[in-house]
Amino acid sequence: MPTSLTAPAPAPTAAAATVAGSPACFHCGLPVPAGGRWRVRLDGAEREMCCAGCQAVAQAIVDAGLDDYYRHRTEPAAGPSAVPPELEALALYDEPDVQSRFVRGDAASAETTLMLEGLRCGACVWLIERTLAAQPGVTAASVNFATERAVLRWDPSRTRLSTLLARVGAIGYRAMPYDAQQREAQLARTTRSLFRRMFVAGIGMMQVMMYAVPVYTAAPGDIEWQYEQLMRWASLLLTIPVILYSAQPFFAGALRDLRARSLGMDVPVALGMGAAFAASAWATVTGKGEVYFDSVTMFAFLLLAARYLEWIARRRASRAVDAMAAALPERVARLVGVGAHPDEGQLAAAEAEAVPAIRVEPGDLLRVATGDRIAVDGVILAGTTSIDQSLLTGESIPVLRRPGDEVPGGAINAGNPFYLRVLRRSADSTLSTIERLIERAAIEKPAIALAADRVAGWFVLCLLLFASAVFAAWWFTDPERALPVAIAVLVVSCPCALSLATPAALAAATGAATRHGALVASGRALETMAAATDVVFDKTGTLTEGRPRLARLQTWDGLDRGQALSLAAALEAGSPHPLARALVEAAGATDGRAAATGIEQHPGLGVEADIGGRRLRLGSRSFVAQWTPLPVDAGAGGSEVWLAARTGVLARFELRDELRADAAQTVTRLAADGLRVHLLSGDHTHAVAAVAEALGVTRVRAGASPSDKLDYVRALQRDGGRVLMVGDGINDAPVLAAADVSIAVGQATALARTSADAVLLSPNLDMVPRLLGLARRTRRVVLQNLGWATAYNLTAIPAAALGYVPPWLAAVGMSASSLLVVGNALRLRLGAPGARR
């Protein structure tokens, strides 16, 4: 921990006090300009600085708790760049060019993902979150124990990233911005370290047991005193490497927790292990009393083995997340010297330069070779190929893509080489968006996880008090058993199992969902989904393919087909709605498209604009009917869009959209699972009724505006329903956000992905019931884990306190408890989401 700012700082040297009669910079010793305004408060006094650079560095040193640098230095720093080694490496992360690779946001709010080293249990998560949240300028800090990631949000005008990283380091952990390659190196380093410590503890345990077994099995007097003492000394020497090396993480963790005034699981472990070793060493030196070297070495080995297996399990649970993060290539082949609209020959002849993917801008042209992973979202300029989107959608079969088709960043070119025009920067690509949604899920914790964390935090304090009481009680009844019984109480308890019960299950479940093309983007999504009673579907783009085609066109007021389509296309230009795209596509072959001005969008209703001196409306029947009477409803089964001026109706477009192939099966499965299925659409009555009849849905609302959809969902909630809303995001963002839990399907818009709790990355609608099945299985596993952890502690702790559990058996029980919780959670990774078991 940093030294308290109470000891007086050494007086500056004469050279540092004044320079040519002027005050000297406290940091670097250079003269402070007249009227200098840069100061840093250190040890209760304002210290003058010569420039903003020295002020920034000195403030960072103080904020990071590294002010001892000024107390122990022998001469001023050699300028503002001279910082303590602890901060020198971290200061790199404050550089704008470096931050552009991993920091999102603006000057008012920045966000990044950190990778952490040194996490032991749920108490570590609580300690890091509390420490970061207490720093000035930090607006959010959330740690995901399973993936060892932290999502951090802060105000760059109030604090620096290097300062926050240093604060994490000051409490005994290592934090740095997420980097896929460094993450892999960190994982390998942690795995090797855990294995080495476990190996040394295992060797020590086996050797100590060789000396302990004869003592246990021999009758009193069978082993002469000098030989028994020799075996004790041999056991002591063999236990020392276990204590100093293998068990070092437990003692370091306990010391870190105590310095931070926090009680993690390492505290009772270190107390139990340390007390047993100290008592055994004293008994060996004095020749009096019992020794527990076998229990100490076995305890260390079993705990390390449990942590090693738990670590492997956590790695497997987070593998899908890490695979996405590591997927995007570092460099791409960017074409140089090519015009804005090159033909295929110019593309083939162009030279390519290797540039970092993060430097690619929209409009750049890239060459994508066979087998390459596509770095950014783009549109194919030349070349026909197949792309593998399995990482994004879970679909293993490559899909055909031609010139003009969009391809997502993160997919693999499984066919021919092709040329790509960049649509979005690397940070805004499909894969990066998915990563951010995963990180957003880590920020929110389900209520059951928060409750478990609170209980686990108090559990350790109560345990220490209880162990002390048990020791005192046994001391007055049987002093020889007081220490081993107290050690067994400390060792047998397992708040780790309680803390791991929920995060282990959620990590395994979200990993399984991601592998099958369903992204859980909210920490509470699975918990809420499991309790859903009503599923509300949007129609267009959700239950239907979202690719409507113009089936019929009627015109009035002398308009011909081409004029009507030209007006509709001008009004709908740029709209992402499927019906709008269908009209624009139908007008594609027409000439002389009109230009619209004064465009006003009315979400869920239509659009209004000026074309050729007339104010026009295009949209639903009710929207257009506000201006002019419309002909009697034709009763068509497709969707209808009306075009009108204030003087009268101009055209009616009838569009048809096919149902998704798995829509009927999806609705049937949901109904069979006891859920009430609703169809909620802004389309006209006949189109919605046709879809409802084909799917067997009886709870239907047609012609619903966005406010009507909100009212419908809120009415269900008032009646006690837990509503799951499923939509594609076009006009659905408000109701997606208002529902208890929501899913955006298929090629959902960015707005829907922001509002939804889960996103289906594949076009398969049957992922909805499968996700609900996964949510229910996850709830069962969480309750099983919590039930086991509670029952174990309620049984094991009293048994240990009564003397029925020796220390070595307590170590077995504690290790088995954590492993059982993690192993039970890993069952969620088996099979597809929602598979019935």
- Cα(602)–Cα(149) distance, integer angstroms: 41
Does 64 have pLDDT greater than 60? no
Does 440 have pLDDT greater than 70? no
Listed residue (497, 429, 441) closest to 147, CA to CA: 441
Q: Which residue blocks in 343-446 are alpha helix, DSSP H?
A: 344-349, 390-393, 430-443
Q: Which residues contact 836 (CB under 8 A, 6 or more apart)?
A: 773
Task: State the pLDDT at residue 3.
Answer: 31
Listed residue (540, 547, 529) closest to 680, CA to CA: 540
Task: State the pLDDT at residue 757.
Answer: 81
Reported confidence tier of residue 542, pLDDT bands at 50, 70, 90: confident
Listed residue (455, 591, 621, 575) closest to 583, CA to CA: 575
Q: Which residues contact 273 (CB under 8 A, 6 or more apart)?
A: 243, 247, 250, 251, 296, 299, 300, 491
Which of 97-106, 325-334, 672-681, 828-837 shows the highest mean pLDDT?
A: 672-681
Does 590 have pLDDT greater than 80? no
Task: State the pLDDT at residue 496.
Answer: 60
Task: State the pLDDT at residue 15.
Answer: 37
Task: State the pLDDT at residue 747.
Answer: 55
Q: Is 591 left (phi over 0), alpha (psi -120 to 50) or beta?
A: beta
Q: What is the mean pLDDT of residues 692-699?
A: 90
pLDDT > 90: percent of the chain: 8
Q: Which residues are catalytic?
A: 538
Reported confidence tier of residue 669, pLDDT bands at 50, 70, 90: very high
Does 559 have pLDDT greater than 80? yes
Q: What is the mean pLDDT of residues 597-618?
A: 87
What pLDDT digit, counting tens, does each position of 98-138 carry? 676 677 777 778 888 888 877 766 667 777 888 888 888 88
Q: What is the mean pLDDT of residues 339-344?
A: 74
Reported confidence tier of residue 659, pLDDT bands at 50, 70, 90: confident
Task: State the pLDDT at residue 722.
Answer: 92
Does 428 have pLDDT greater than 60? yes
Q: What is the mean pLDDT of residues 277-304?
A: 81
pLDDT > 70: percent of the chain: 74
Does 153 have pLDDT greater than 70? yes
Task: State the pLDDT at residue 668.
Answer: 92
- Cα(218)–Cα(624) distance, integer angstroms: 99
Task: State the pLDDT at residue 411.
Answer: 81
Residue 505 CA: distances (Å) to CA of 61, 446, 453: 40, 12, 15
Does 315 have pLDDT greater than 60? yes
Q: Which residues contact 437 (CB under 8 A, 6 or more apart)?
A: 519, 521, 753, 759
- Cα(209)–Cα(238) distance, integer angstroms: 10
Reported confidence tier of residue 497, pLDDT bands at 50, 70, 90: low
Q: Are 486 and 470 in contact (CB under 8 A)?
A: yes
Domain 329-428 has CATH 2.70.150.10: yes
Domain boundaries, given as residue ranges, for the chain: 14-83, 91-178, 186-318+447-506+783-828, 329-428, 549-656
Reported confidence tier of residue 180, pLDDT bands at 50, 70, 90: low
Task: State the pLDDT at residue 116.
Answer: 83
- Cα(811)–Cα(817) distance, integer angstroms: 10
Q: Which tokens hold the place of 366? A: 């890239």
What pLDDT digit, counting tens, does each position of 202-214 carry? 898 888 888 877 7
More confidently predicted of 340 and 153: 153
Does 616 have pLDDT greater than 90? yes
Q: Are 228 and 215 in contact (CB under 8 A)?
A: yes
Task: State the pLDDT at residue 92.
Answer: 67
In sequence order, what are the beta bridge partners of 742? 725
Q: What is the mean pLDDT of residues 780-796?
A: 83
Half-sphere exposure of 672 (CA within 13 A, CB side): 9
- Cα(812)–Cα(1) distance, integer angstroms: 34
SS3 category, 511: helix
What pLDDT digit, counting tens, does each position of 642-654 carry? 999 988 999 999 8
Q: What is the mean pLDDT of residues 793-816?
A: 79
The CATH fold of domain 91-178: Alpha-Beta Plaits (3.30.70)
Q: Are 193 and 201 in contact (CB under 8 A)?
A: no
Task: State the pLDDT at residue 320.
Answer: 55
What pLDDT digit, counting tens, does each position of 2-55 carry? 333 333 333 343 334 444 456 778 877 777 776 666 788 877 788 887 765 667
More confidently predicted of 444 and 735: 735
Q: What is the mean pLDDT of residues 421-448?
A: 66
For 549-656, CATH number out of 1.10.8.60, 3.40.1110.10, 3.90.180.10, 1.10.1040.10 equals 3.40.1110.10
**Considering only 154-168, 455-469, 638-652, which range has the smallest mean pLDDT?**
455-469
Reported confidence tier of residue 61, pLDDT bands at 50, 70, 90: low
Which of 25-29, 232-236, 256-260 shows the highest mean pLDDT?
A: 232-236
Q: What is the mean pLDDT of residues 607-634?
A: 86
